[in-house]
């Protein structure tokens, strides 16, 4: 009976497959087969032994039912796999797991799971990046209200917003790529990492197993791969999750009824916003992204605590990682897939964008007027104070700032009515916003192409 939401609600089939229990068993056997192949290449096991194990993988002869039966006897998960595999390996069963300790197998399996999870995360990040630059190009000339502290600030463009988010996404892809050699690390070095059980062939055996499994080998490890790599992965996942939280939160804010510049997709033919209020169009997808970010961020702390193990290792990290790592991957995957759906179906309302700009009665153009006065020779500090007083007067009286400025003798000493009017136009004060969008777009397209 499903209990946890990741069993039935969160995470895609692709990510779920990586962490599926049957897939885990297949990978466990693959590592044992890789070890046998490496042993055969140094003359410590017959070549046929590895061939036999690979045939068992193809036939699916060893099942979770077999492993569970042995675990009830041994109370040891890895030994249960070894015994279930050995009993179906005929005369080659005695060569299975020779020289290895449990974490040689489980850490190498985990390295493959993290590798495949990162590959999937990266593919989703790339899709988000491309979608964001498409939006940034489409709306690079849509002037909108910039807000700081939640309060109207200066004009910007909607395309600039999307480009800024896209640049953050591309940094996450770069971080993941750079971190793979530290995260996707297996091992084959025995009980305390000295490789004593492999004699003089330890380096060759470990290198060969990692080559076969397609993961990195450690510079050095004790009984386990050091957990700083897993902490880095969980922390990177939390950072990525927080960016998705940031974008979703902005969409939620701009979807507020009184703002309504953006809106996440809503199926008008069938979607229900509220069980009692038929009119509701709630930002539930973005809210889900924001909510899951809280869980993903919390997992980073657990991963950091797992770095601290006693002596050559203890088992305190194991139970934690069984919960933490699948959850981090599945919940982040859910966030990523949801964000892709939101961005691809995002609605932008230019009329509302313009309405919100004009609602400020020119106050957002105060800096533009100050800069214009300075360009005509006025003192910057004096100009700031003059415009501040005019702005406060306009705010208090509910007037347009341009009307107050035109009546100000101090302002008129430097600016004509026409120059004031020009300074009041938001589209004249977006600086290099368009060029920056084009710069980000070109950078991302070039980066992702390579």
Domain 5-95 architecture: Orthogonal Bundle (1.10)
Catalytic residue from among 4, 76, 123, 274: 274
pLDDT beyond 70 at 204: yes
Comma-separated ranges of CATH 1.20.200.10 domains in the chain:
102-184+219-265+277-356
Interhelix angle 21-41/77-86, rounded to 10 degrees, is 70
* Per-residue model confidence as pLDDT tens digits over 143-158: 999 999 999 999 999 9
Of the two residues 225 and 6, the one the predictor is more confident about is 225
Q: Mean pLDDT over residues 268-287, rounded?
A: 91
Strand duo 347-348 + 262-263: pairing: antiparallel
The confidence score (pLDDT) of residue 449 equals 79
Distance CA 401, CA 390 (A): 7
Q: What is the pTM of this model?
A: 0.95
Per the annotation, the verdict on 123 as an active-site residue is: no
Rg of the chain over Cα atoms, rounded to whole angstroms, equals: 30
Per the annotation, the verdict on 375 as an active-site residue is: no
Going by C-alpha positions, the residue among 82, 102, 77 that lies closest to residue 94 is 82
**Whether 212 contacts 112, CB under 8 Å:** no
* Per-residue model confidence as pLDDT tens digits over 21-62: 999 999 999 999 999 999 999 999 999 999 999 999 999 999
pLDDT beyond 90 at 271: no
Instruction: Name the phi and psi angles at 155, rounded to 5.
Output: -70, 145
CB proximity list for 409: less than 8 A, separation 6 or greater: none
pLDDT band at 450 (very low <50, low <70, confident <90, very high): low
* Per-residue model confidence as pLDDT tens digits over 360-419: 999 999 999 999 999 999 999 999 999 999 999 999 999 999 999 999 999 999 999 999
Going by C-alpha positions, the residue among 290, 342, 321 that lies closest to residue 124 is 342
Structure-block tokens of residue 192 = 């305390």
Is 195 strand, coil or helix? coil
Comma-separated ranges of CATH 1.10.40.30 domains in the chain:
363-423
Give domain 102-184+219-265+277-356's CATH number out of 3.40.50.880, 3.40.50.670, 3.40.50.720, 1.20.200.10. Answer: 1.20.200.10
Catalytic residue from among 59, 149, 257, 279: 149
Tell me the average pLDDT of the chain. 96
Is 35 strand, coil or helix? helix
* Per-residue model confidence as pLDDT tens digits over 9-20: 999 999 999 999
Distance CA 211, CA 30 (A): 12
Comma-separated ranges of CATH 1.10.275.10 domains in the chain:
5-95
Is 411 strand, coil or helix? helix
> C-alpha angle 164/177/216, rounded to 5°?
165
* Per-residue model confidence as pLDDT tens digits over 98-133: 999 999 999 999 999 999 999 999 999 999 999 999
**Whether 27 contacts 112, CB under 8 Å:** yes
* Per-residue model confidence as pLDDT tens digits over 284-337: 999 999 999 999 999 999 999 999 999 999 999 999 999 999 999 999 999 999
DSSP H/E element including 148: strand 143-148
Distance CA 312, CA 192 (A): 6
Instruction: Estimate the share of the chain in helix, then strand, then coil, as percent rounded to the nearest 5.
Output: 70, 5, 25
Distance CA 385, CA 393 (A): 12
Q: Domain 363-423's class? A: mainly alpha
Distance CA 201, CA 88 (A): 28
The confidence score (pLDDT) of residue 2 equals 83
The confidence score (pLDDT) of residue 6 equals 86
């Amino acid at each position: 009976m499903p209990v946890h939401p990741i069993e039935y609600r969160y995470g895609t089939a692709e990510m779920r497959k990586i962490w599926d229990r049957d897939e885990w068993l297949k990978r466990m056997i693959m590592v044992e087969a890789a070890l046998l192949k490496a042993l055969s290449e140094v003359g410590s096991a017959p070549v046929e032994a590895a061939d036999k194990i690979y045939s068992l993988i193809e036939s699916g002869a060893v099942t979770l039912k077999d492993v569970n039966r042995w675990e009830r006897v041994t109370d040891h998960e890895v030994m249960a796999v070894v015994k279930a595999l050995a009993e179906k390996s005929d005369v080659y069963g005695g060569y299975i797991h020779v020289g290895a300790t449990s974490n040689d197998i489980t850490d190498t399996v985990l390295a493959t799971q993290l590798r495949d999870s990162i590959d999937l995360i990266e593919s989703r990040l790339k899709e988000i990046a491309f979608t964001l630059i498409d939006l940034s190009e489409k709306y690079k000339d849509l002037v909108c209200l910039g807000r700081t502290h939640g309060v109207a600030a200066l004009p910007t463009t909607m395309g600039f917003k999307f480009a800024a988010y896209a640049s953050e996404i591309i940094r996450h892809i770069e971080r993941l790529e750079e971190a793979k050699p530290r995260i996707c690390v297996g091992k084959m070095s025995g009980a305390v990492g000295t490789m004593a059980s492999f004699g003089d062939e330890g380096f060759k055996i470990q290198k060969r197993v990692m080559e076969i499994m397609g993961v990195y080998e450690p510079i050095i490890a004790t009984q386990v791969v050091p957990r700083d790599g897993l902490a880095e992965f969980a922390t990177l996942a939390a950072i990525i999750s927080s960016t998705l939280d940031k974008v979703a939160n902005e969409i939620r804010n701009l979807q507020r009824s009184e703002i309504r510049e953006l809106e996440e997709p809503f199926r008008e033919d069938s979607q229900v916003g509220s069980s009692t209020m038929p009119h509701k169009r709630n930002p539930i997808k973005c809210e889900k992204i924001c909510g899951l970010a809280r869980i993903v961020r919390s997992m980073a702390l657990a991963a950091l605590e797992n770095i601290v193990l006693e002596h050559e290792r203890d088992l305190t990290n194991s139970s934690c990682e069984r919960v933490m790592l699948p959850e981090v991957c599945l919940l982040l995957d859910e966030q990523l897939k949801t964000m892709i759906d939101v961005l691809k179906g995002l609605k932008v309302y230019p009329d509302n964008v313009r309405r919100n700009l004009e609602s400020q009665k020119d106050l957002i153009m105060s800096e533009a007027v100050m800069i214009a006065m300075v360009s005509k020779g006025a003192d910057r500090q004096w100009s700031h104070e003059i415009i501040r007083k005019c702005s406060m007067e306009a705010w208090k009286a509910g007037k347009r700032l341009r009307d107050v400025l035109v009546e100000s003798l101090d302002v008129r000493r430097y600016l004509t009515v026409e120059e004031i009017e020009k300074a009041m136009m938001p589209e004249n004060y977006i600086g290099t916003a368009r060029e920056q969008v084009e710069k980000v777009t070109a950078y991302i397209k070039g980066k992702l192409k390579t």
